[in-house]
Amino acid sequence: MKANSTPLPDVAESDAPGTTCRPLRVLIADDHKLIRLGLRMVLERDGLDVVGEAATGRQAVDMAKELSPDVVVVDIVMPDMDGFQALAAIRASVPAASIIMITAYTRPDFMARAIALGAGGYITKDDEPSSIPKAIRAVAEGEAIVNRKILQMALREIADSARSRPQTDALDRPSLTPQQLKVLSLIAEGMDNAAIASALSVSRNTVKTHVREIFLKLGVSDRTQAAIRALRLGIAG
């Protein structure tokens, strides 16, 4: 297996609200039993709690509703509802769960679609196994495990779509402070906390506090969701 070509972010600081010291609870969804077994071994060896395994997309949705995991690892190609359909359904029914798409394909259009549907991460089955627990912890901390260029491509598509239809969420638009709006616009550009702190000439802890408040006000659990929600509301982009 080759090394992951996309550097993982520094996850020492948590952006996600309600983070605790208990092991992260992970649901694995893949139609290949050997893949599920291999992922379980890698994750449990790294101290993560695998709470269930799903063999189909529909089963993944049902188990996510039942188990309320912190992170769901979802294969793209699955029977009885593909990974994209499962992703959308889990996002709608278990919004607190972060979702990582895992696939054998590195197609940019797959990455962009996964991000547009709210995935917090996108990894391939060729990635170094030791990078997967790091990715899971990163998305649980509110980071987005995606290439910045792909993220921007997906966000542009979402922005174009949002501008072409009525803003049904307008009445639910949250109240953000001017500084939080600046932070949110930089999140939508794909910047991490360190880059935002540098751009705004503030400390990383200040940015971390703003990001946490933004998540709470937007009702999201990671940076990708925050950027997408902002674009759909017309707040950024």
Report helix, strand or coil for 72. Answer: strand
- The domain defined by 168-233 carries CATH number 1.10.10.10: yes
pLDDT value of residue 170: 46
> Residue 71's beta-bridge partner residues?
26, 98
Q: Which fold has domain 25-151?
A: Rossmann fold (3.40.50)
Contact in structure between 114 and 87 (CB atoms under 8 Å)? yes
Q: Tell me whether the CATH fold assigned to 25-151 matches the one assigned to 168-233.
A: no
**Block residue for tokens 């060896």:** 45
Query: Along the 237 residues of the chain, how does pLDDT read in single tens digits?
Result: 443 444 444 333 445 444 446 899 999 999 999 999 999 999 999 999 999 999 999 999 999 999 999 999 999 999 999 999 999 999 999 988 999 999 887 777 787 788 878 888 888 888 888 889 998 998 888 776 665 666 666 666 666 665 555 454 444 667 889 999 999 988 887 788 888 999 999 998 999 899 989 988 888 877 877 887 777 777 765
pLDDT value of residue 231: 75
Region for residue 47 given its phi and psi (left: phi exceeds 0; alpha: psi -120 to 50; beta: otherwise): left
Q: Chain-centre distance of CA 13, in angstroms?
A: 16
Q: Chain-centre distance of CA 196, in angstroms?
A: 19
Contact in structure between 146 and 122 (CB atoms under 8 Å)? yes
pLDDT value of residue 72: 97
Contact in structure between 59 and 80 (CB atoms under 8 Å)? yes
The helix (run of H) or strand (run of E) holding residue 39 is helix 33-45
pTM, 2 dp: 0.68
In whole angstroms, give the CA distance from residue 203 to residue 71.
Answer: 29
What are the sequence ranges of the domains in the chain? 25-151, 168-233
pLDDT value of residue 18: 43
Strands 49-54 and 71-75: unpaired
